[in-house]
Structure 1
Amino acid sequence: MTDISATAPSPSQKPAPARPPANPVSPFRAWWAIFIFTIALMFNFLDRQLLTLLITPIKADLNLTDTQISILVGFMFVLFYISVGIPISRLVDRGPRKWIIGAGIAFWSLMTAACGLAQNFWQLAVARMGVGIGESCNGPATYSMTADMFPRDKLARPISIINIGMVMGSGMALLVGGYLIVWLTELGPQTFPVIGTLKPWQMTFVIVGLPGILWALLMVLTVPEPPRKDEGTGAVTPSFGKVLSFFGFWGAAYFPMFFAAGVKSMLSFGNAVWSPAFFERSFGYAPGEPGPILGAIGLIVAPLGLIIGGQAATWLASKGQDDANMRIVLWVSIALVPLAIIYPLAPAAWMAFALYGALLFLGSLGAGPANAAMQVITPGRMRGTVSALYIAIFNVMGYGAGPLVVALMTDNVFKNEAMLGASMAAAAAILGPVGLFLSWKALKPYARAVAAARERDD
């Protein structure tokens, strides 16, 4: 077995150069794969974020509190996302990655549709667990395949493009989901053979969930499985203990990177989950009505931010800046924190929409470089496992704790659901400076880890 602990810690220990893969993926097929990955991630976030648009009717029909809703949105999803994600990441470092992604897409799509059959809190919770299990297959395998298709110094661009799928999914959940729930509400409950009567919010889940199954087929039939960059060198997948040893050795880079992303994801997902309800409660919008506006803003500004952020990191790297990816993350954080505090305190709806757009643009600038940073410093046959650790922290802190922190403040501190904006602002004022400090803390250790990865040539 390859001794990771011997090769990883010291940049001066350089192994024999790896032989190039026998059948590298052509640029056309590599970019086709990026397109498929991007749309898959769009379905991923469309399915997981749809519930945020349906908070008001679900609360009313199932008699839930804000805290229960945040548990459904976050921890019921994240708990199983993580528990299954680590074992699956070990498969990613060993087996055919495109089949893992395809199976995950099909399963989470079916579970999204199953959310529409729920009749109470626990049935909806079980369906959300299933969505989490399916979606845990996507990230580690996608990033591992991408890192084997593109050179290290050009990785920020394709990963930024993949992340467009994230904002497209979030935007489509608001835009398409918003129009869909308004239309279905006008139709009213409908009765179907076998499954019985479904309310508008239930039909929305079913309609949005099922198309993902077709994309799963396209994934396995058309995307190439790239050869791993260490193929032909005798390298084998290291044990989980070896991965943790490597992770611990470079902890000065990994830990602040991962937790900075986690803290900032708390702000991001806290805003994303509660923004539709914020506009409904603060400015009198009907359920689903803010969705198309928020979705359109996201679909315009977030892809632009992702492309610019990826280009900026690639340009900095071409100038010899080893810390290029984390430097972009730090610069973005400096501007992001005050905006996150101001946004939910806006006195008028038009101003809140404008600040939401600015916040989303800035957040998107750093998303691609943040993901690329992890891939750049991690050896190829560890990327699945390390990506799963990253995604676990990102989701527990962001998707699990982010909405819950805001809900707990609303229910227990302000004790008034009309004060949702104040809860969002308070969360940003507490968490924002912590994320900024951690981004700064990661800068120099990350540059050293990049130099070491270049020496290892993995």
Structure 2
Amino acid sequence: MAEAAAPMEGTQRPRVSAYAWYALFVLVLVYVVNFIDRQILSILVADIQADLGVTEAEIGFLYGTAFAVFYALFGIPLGRLADSWYRGRLMAIGLALWSSMTVASGFASTLGQLTAARIGVGIGEASASPAAYSMIADSFPKERRATALSIYSAGLYIGGALSLPIGGAVASGWNRAYPAAELAPLGLAGWQAAFLAVGLPGLLLALWVLSLREPQRGAMDGHPQPIVRPNAWRDFGRELFAIIPPFTLFNLAALSAKALRTNLVALAVIVLAAYGLVLLTGNWPQWVAYGLGVYAVFSWVQSLRFRDPATHALIWGHWVVVLITAAFGSIAFVAYASTFWFPRYAEATFYAGPLAPGLFFPGMTAKTEVGLILGTTNAVTAALGVIIGGYLSDLWRQRDVNGRLYINMLAAVLPLPIITYMLTTDSATGFYVASPLAHLFSSLWVGAAVATLQDLVLPRMRGTAGATYILGTTMVGLALGPYYAGQVAAAAGSLAAGIFALFAMVPLTLTALWIASRHLGALEASKEERARAAESADAAPLGAV
């Protein structure tokens, strides 16, 4: 991405170069591929359940927790690496990894193999958004930052929506051509072929990403810094040791005996809580994986306090920032889960089966029709919604520092009556008409949320702030939402009941955002002062801000 000049004197704003817009377009493509590879599982649920014999709760675990825990955990050290190394190269490496793991998903024949491949996809995808957030924030001025981040975030919805018609068409076409898997090339079923179809193009896109130029760190905010800091990969290794058990114990032992004792107490509490949830639900993979994630995050935050007190103070050292991060995750809890389960709900409610004729396009199978209608309509409106939300949040923020939080509140509330209609109507037409409107409203929040956290940190911390945002949306939203809806659906015998149960999160979201709105302005205004105070307390220089 083109280097941005430092802010001009007077009333002039930094200009956004044509190359910055070009690079943003490439980053959007990366995010589209990211979510195609992640979301394609949604349209393949019925086929995977039939072939592998898994339940709704196990599918929720596969889509949510198995992916999300490793996505979140590796997002932290990779986000820190994005703060000190070439961000475009980091994204290209990650893209090649997750595309390869998506291809590996196509060769999985057991739940364990598919889970391992999904973990690999999560690790690879963890490199993308922290680096992209940092590059975009260094290429667009604060006044246009939420708009640019929203355009990037539109790739999330475009990719998620395109995964449905692509996955449905490939799987149905393959199953029609090869009704018996043993007669198909390589003995692959339709759902396996779909993973191959979406994974291979990402390897070519990785080469394109390598060509992007790096923007100057911090120049848009008047604090230019080197693009690459010394010992970036050595520090990345230290970050891995700080978050990956059991290395976390050795890392903390070297830093502080008191911190190690606190860590061991926290580990005992987390183990007991996970054991209790396993007894309650009978689902040990979900809670072992989630407990591992919670413990790893706790350990990393402890370590960060010693290794980078300024970053710890601005992100994890203030309860309001933690609350904001959790609130964003709670919006994702509803949005991710409902979006994932809607295609399966439509198949089960309005069609005789995934290979039954379409209601509106009789030449198509039900799976292909569901993917085509939900995918194309939701892609357009969700992408439009996230861009509108970012633009409105920028305008609102110019009048009120809490404007972006208010957009998040609207995104949490406006979809609820529409989802209620979708889950209670007997009309497939009504369901399909309402779905894009629900996605329009539920996507308003993303760019505003990312920009909020970016504004609360110094430029050198932007990759870490992006990783923290991802941590909230994955550990609260993706790791719990789809599983929770699937667990309720399995217990109640109704997928609609599982989706309705998500609504219990909304009052908590609104309460958290309202509390945060009482403190946001003061937090942003004091960030440099608080960072210096944290560094001074640690008797170390702050360095460039």
**TM-score, normalised on structure 2?**
0.74
The 1:174–1:327 alpha-carbon spacing in structure 2 relative to 1, beyond 3 Å, is same
Q: Name segments (4+ residues, structure 1) moved above 6 Å.
A: 190-193, 233-238, 454-457
Q: Deviations over 1:286-311 (max 9, x none)?
A: 42231111101112211221221122
1:129-140 correspondence runs (5 A) = 129-140=119-130
**Do the aligned residues in 2 keep the contact of 1:326 with 1:370 (CA within 8 Å)?**
yes
Q: SS of 1:365's equivalent?
A: coil
Cα distance in 1 between the residues matched to 2:526 and 2:142: 13
State the Cα distance separating 1:191 from its structure 2 match. 7.1
Aligned partner of 2:390 among 291, 300, 310: 310
1:179 and 2:172 aligned = no
1:25-424 correspondence runs (5 A) = 27-188=17-178, 196-221=186-211, 223-229=212-218, 230-232=223-225, 239-252=307-320, 254-284=321-351, 286-287=353-354, 288=367, 289-318=369-398, 320-412=399-491, 414=492, 416=493, 419-424=494-499
Q: Deviations over 1:128-169 (max 9, x none)?
A: 010001000011111011111111121011101001100010
**Do the aligned residues in 2 keep the contact of 1:279 with 1:285 (CA within 8 Å)?**
no
**Do the aligned residues in 1 keep the contact of 2:314 with 2:527 (CA within 8 Å)?**
no
Q: Deviations over 1:25-74 (max 9, x none)?
A: 96111111110111100001100111111011111111111111111111
Q: Deviations over 1:168-206 (max 9, x none)?
A: 10111012222222211211256799x831111111100
Report the equivalent of 2:258: none
Report the equivalent of 1:10: none
Report the equivalent of 2:243: none
Q: What is the Cα-based RMSD across aligned positions, in Å?
A: 2.6
**Do the aligned residues in 1 keep the contact of 2:415 with 2:439 (CA within 8 Å)?**
no
The 1:240–1:50 alpha-carbon spacing in structure 2 relative to 1, beyond 3 Å, is farther
Cα distance in 2 between the residues matched to 1:45 and 1:211: 13
**Do the aligned residues in 2 keep the contact of 1:25 with 1:226 (CA within 8 Å)?**
no
Between 1:131-140 and 1:386-395, the stretch displaced more is 386-395
Cα distance in 2 between the residues matched to 1:335 and 1:296: 21
Letter in 2 for 1:148: D
State the Cα distance separating 1:454 from its structure 2 match. 9.1
Aligned partner of 1:439 among 506, 513, 523: 513
The 1:421–1:347 alpha-carbon spacing in structure 2 relative to 1, beyond 3 Å, is same
**Do the aligned residues in 1 keep the contact of 2:413 with 2:506 (CA within 8 Å)?**
no
Cα distance in 2 between the residues matched to 1:422 and 1:326: 29
**Do the aligned residues in 1 keep the contact of 2:150 with 2:447 (CA within 8 Å)?**
yes
**Do the aligned residues in 2 keep the contact of 1:330 with 1:436 (CA within 8 Å)?**
yes
The 1:81–1:265 alpha-carbon spacing in structure 2 relative to 1, beyond 3 Å, is same
**Larger radius of gyration, structure 1 or 2?**
2
**Do the aligned residues in 1 keep the contact of 2:69 with 2:474 (CA within 8 Å)?**
no
Q: Percent identity?
A: 30
Cα distance in 2 between the residues matched to 1:398 and 1:373: 18
Q: Deviations over 1:310-359 (max 9, x none)?
A: 221222234x3222211221233332344344432233222222332221
State the Cα distance separating 1:103 from its structure 2 match. 0.5
Cα distance in 2 between the residues matched to 1:85 and 1:249: 19
Between 1:229-238 and 1:73-82, the stretch displaced more is 229-238
Cα distance in 1 between the residues matched to 2:29 and 2:319: 33
**Do the aligned residues in 2 keep the contact of 1:306 with 1:365 (CA within 8 Å)?**
yes
**Do the aligned residues in 1 keep the contact of 2:65 with 2:479 (CA within 8 Å)?**
yes
Report the equivalent of 2:525: 451
Gaps of 5+ in 2: 8-13, 233-303, 355-366, 532-543
Q: SS of 1:210's equivalent?
A: helix
**Do the aligned residues in 1 keep the contact of 2:61 with 2:483 (CA within 8 Å)?**
yes
Letter in 1 for 2:6: P
Between 1:255-264 and 1:340-349, the stretch displaced more is 340-349
Gaps of 5+ in 1: 1-18
State the Cα distance separating 1:391 from its structure 2 match. 0.5
Q: SS of 2:371's equivalent?
A: helix
**TM-score, normalised on structure 1?**
0.87
Cα distance in 2 between the residues matched to 1:347 and 1:264: 27
The 1:125–1:233 alpha-carbon spacing in structure 2 relative to 1, beyond 3 Å, is closer
Q: SS of 1:227's equivalent?
A: coil
State the Cα distance separating 1:453 from its structure 2 match. 5.2
Cα distance in 2 between the residues matched to 1:390 and 1:274: 23
The 1:175–1:250 alpha-carbon spacing in structure 2 relative to 1, beyond 3 Å, is same
Cα distance in 1 between the residues matched to 2:528 and 2:150: 21
Q: Deviations over 1:238-279 (max 9, x none)?
A: 944432222244432x22321111111111111111111101
Cα distance in 2 between the residues matched to 1:90 and 1:335: 35
Structure of higher RCO (CA pairs closer than 8 Å, 6+ residues apart): 1
State the Cα distance separating 1:78 from its structure 2 match. 1.3
Q: SS of 2:109's equivalent?
A: coil
